[in-house]
Amino acid sequence: MNQSVENNRILLVDDDLVLRTMAAHVLATAGFAVAECDSGESCLALLAEQPVDLVLLDVLMPGIDGFETCRRLRANPATRDIAVVMLTGLESSDSIETSYQVGASDFVTKPIGWDLLVHRIRYNLRAVLMRHRLVASEASLADAQRLARLGSWQWWPREGRFECSDQFARMFNLSPADRSRATPFTLLQAVVPDNRAEVEAARRQAVQSGTAYNLRFHSLGSDGGVRFFREELQSTVDPDGQVSKLTVVTQDISVLAAQEEKIRFLTYHDQTTELPTRQFFVEVATHVLEQAARNRAECAVLYIDLDRFSAINAFFGNETGNEVLRTTAQRIVASIRAADIAGYARSPEGLEVAARAGGDEFLVMLSQPRRELNTTLVADRLLEALRAPITVGGETVELTASIGIALFPRDGDSVDTLLEHAEYAMRNARNRRDSFTYFDDSIGQAATRRIHREAELRRAIGKGEMVLHFQPKVDTSNGRIIGAEALVRWQHPEWGLLPPGEFIPLAEDSGLIVPLGQAVFSMACAQVAAWQAVGIWRPPLVVAVNLSAASFIDQNLVEQLLACTRHHGVAPASLCLEVTETALMENLDLATSRLIELRAAGFRISLDDFGTGYSSLNYLKRFPVDQIKIDRSFVSDITSDDQDAAIVAAIVTLASKFGLELVAEGTETLAQVEKLRDLGCTVAQGYYFARPMPAEQLGSLLASAGKLP
């Protein structure tokens, strides 16, 4: 064990290579020495040969699972003292409890928050470090205990004898007399009433049958304030089965808990308004809905949008804009009677949550509002509160809001659906401003409008109003264009050139995405043929086309694509199909066989937006692809955020391991290009090189030198 926790050895045990690689990079970046393996069996074998300080152990693995692995580690004297942090799937109290039962030191839930992971690991290593120091040197015992806020006591049940360390006595303010009279049960007086029964039961169980435990509880400390403790109990059982001794280590983890709370606060709270973030809202709302479903109660989700806020930002500047947002947040919280600034409160009416959805949009959840009337009242109160003029820096600003409301269970049974429907209703309310609309009422009007828009889109596809723009993929080492992505636009007779965001969602919802996809593919083939005809197309060039989930599962996909390439006289190898992980995930088995068919037909496959989903090796291994595209979100912070850089480095490692081409999308600056190149990614696409452009423009680039100027 090293004296400092950096350079400590961590063994990462997870069957998922992608997660493992990402975690390994993040931990190595944080200064740890990381070893990896992919199963419980190999973990046990590895530990027999080389010691480590901490094991990060996945719960779900083929072969023996994480729980069993931990159990075996604890049963073996050689590995008994290693810190074990379990990686549990989803926040499930069962697996957390099982983790502690099998002797884990701590747990981390998936999907992993990288900041929290590093923090937790440092903390656990420090605890182990202290334990080791205690064992190593009796002399420094007292010191180490004080530093670690670590106290210990021992109890011999048969003799009724109690002994504790000086630090323990200090932590709980025990006088010499208290110390001589103490038992595990008199100590319970300091434990707060809420936790007392649990601690008492665990200690009884330990006295009776020697059951070890690892508990967290609140207790009064020496200063009379409530502090947070973690306590580990080990027992000695005589050959005759009698418990002869209990050994307990108690650690004051208040500081750690406060730090974690801070981190959680930062990830869960918006800096400007201090309201919870959308992420937090979704988590809390999910719990609220589960409870509401059990109690057959109703809930309401309100989506609030400030009318004309962007004008305020543009006119008065960001600072004033932020001030307005803060005032808005306070008024929302006050209107829903959520008492504290953290933005949520429990009242006799149920649980109320307010959050900032981003920009000038806010969310409110009302649980168990008694009937619609109540929600209507709150919506009215909100509109009224937000209508009041706001004075900032001598300026008076007048604002109104639009609110959309979706009710559980009538308008949806998941948080996602409710949010989507509330937002939808909000857009309808926005037509009138300073008003609210229930989702139910808005669909009637909207259904009519939608039928019109659908018909218009269908006609547009038929009439050839769709056009393709092309964005080059560039070899950054020499500026050569090695391919281009075809991106569709709608040349609307009245509205001008519409970006895909304006019509792809409608196309997807209505099924028009399949004919649209065929039109796009056909145009792409025609373009390749045209470039070939004028001799500016050299073989390594590939045109990429985005393939929607619906097209992907279409029975006739491969046949149609092949018919199209034959018709235009182009080789399938000149075309690449970009699919997203989410599209593949919708139907794993079909996806696999479809990809195999497509590649057998000669098409190239690119995995789009990589890293954003539950990126997992299981897919990379299963899905035969040629290329992965690192999602824009990692590239955008790559020069400022070590973790994003570590994740990109991990993806580079994976790509080379699997022999895949790699493209970084959304590359906007020279610094990003250089950083990507340092990390080993030399193909990029993005505004830094070129925006998507009309075919003629790309044609003249290809004709000149096939390079970017």
Q: Would you tell me which residues interact with Ca ion (CB under 5 A)?
A: 546, 578, 608-609
Residues numbered 686 to 705 that lie near ligand C2E (CB under 6 A) are: 686-687, 692
Structure tokens at 355: 């959050």
**CB closer to ligand C2E, 517 vs 699:** 517
**CB closer to ligand C2E, 329 vs 487:** 487
Nearest distance in Å: CB 683, ligand C2E? 13
Beta strands in 592-704 (DSSP E): 604-610, 627-630, 661-664, 683-684, 693-694
Q: Which does 548 bind (CB under 5 to 8 A by kind): ligand C2E, Ca ion, none?
A: ligand C2E
Beta strands in 581-649 (DSSP E): 604-610, 627-630
Cα–Cα distance measured from residue 483 to residue 68, given in angstroms and rounded to the nearest whole number = 50
Asked if 215 and 230 touch (Cβ cutoff 8 Å), the reply is: yes
Nearest distance in Å: CB 630, Ca ion? 9
Q: Which does 298 bind (CB under 5 to 8 A by kind): Ca ion, ligand C2E, none?
A: none
Residues numbered 544 to 563 that lie near ligand C2E (CB under 6 A) are: 546, 548
Residues numbered 652 to 691 that lie near ligand C2E (CB under 6 A) are: 666-668, 685-687
- Residue 456 is a binding residue for ligand C2E (CB under 6 A): no
Stretch that binds ligand C2E, among 118-126, 181-189, 512-520, 592-600 (CB under 6 A): 512-520
Nearest distance in Å: CB 647, ligand C2E? 18
**CB closer to Ca ion, 360 vs 578:** 578
Angle formed at CA 41 by CA 38 and CA 43, multiple of 5 degrees: 60
Asked if 612 and 634 touch (Cβ cutoff 8 Å), the reply is: no
**CB closer to ligand C2E, 310 vs 582:** 582
Nearest distance in Å: CB 309, Ca ion? 29
Residues numbered 465 to 504 that lie near ligand C2E (CB under 6 A) are: 471, 487-488, 499-501, 504
- Name the closest residue to Ca ion (Cβ): 578
Q: Which does 500 bind (CB under 5 to 8 A by kind): ligand C2E, Ca ion, none?
A: ligand C2E
Cα–Cα distance measured from residue 381 to residue 338, given in angstroms and rounded to the nearest whole number = 13
Beta strands in 123-242 (DSSP E): 150-156, 161-164, 213-220, 226-237
Q: Which does 504 bind (CB under 5 to 8 A by kind): ligand C2E, Ca ion, none?
A: ligand C2E
Cα–Cα distance measured from residue 621 to residue 615, given in angstroms and rounded to the nearest whole number = 12
The dihedral sign for the CA sequence 554, 559, 565, 568: negative
Cβ neighbours of residue 288 closer than 8 Å, sequence gap 6 or more: 299, 351, 353, 365, 367
The dihedral sign for the CA sequence 220, 221, 225, 229: negative
Cα–Cα distance measured from residue 454 to residue 505, given in angstroms and rounded to the nearest whole number = 11
Phi, psi of 477 (to 5 degrees): -75, -25
**CB closer to Ca ion, 59 vs 487:** 487
Angle formed at CA 561 by CA 559 and CA 566, multiple of 5 degrees: 95
| Of the candidate residues 404, 517, 572, 699, the single one contacting ligand C2E (CB under 6 A) | 517
Number of residues that bind ligand C2E (CB under 6 A): 22
Asked if 668 and 686 touch (Cβ cutoff 8 Å), the reply is: yes
Classified as helix, coil or strand, 422 is helix
Site string for ligand C2E, 592-631 (x = CB under 6 A): ----------------xx----------------------
- Residue 572 is a binding residue for ligand C2E (CB under 6 A): no
Q: Which does 488 bind (CB under 5 to 8 A by kind): ligand C2E, Ca ion, none?
A: ligand C2E
Interface positions with ligand C2E (CB under 6 A): 471, 487-488, 499-501, 504, 513, 517, 520, 546, 548, 578, 608-609, 666-668, 685-687, 692
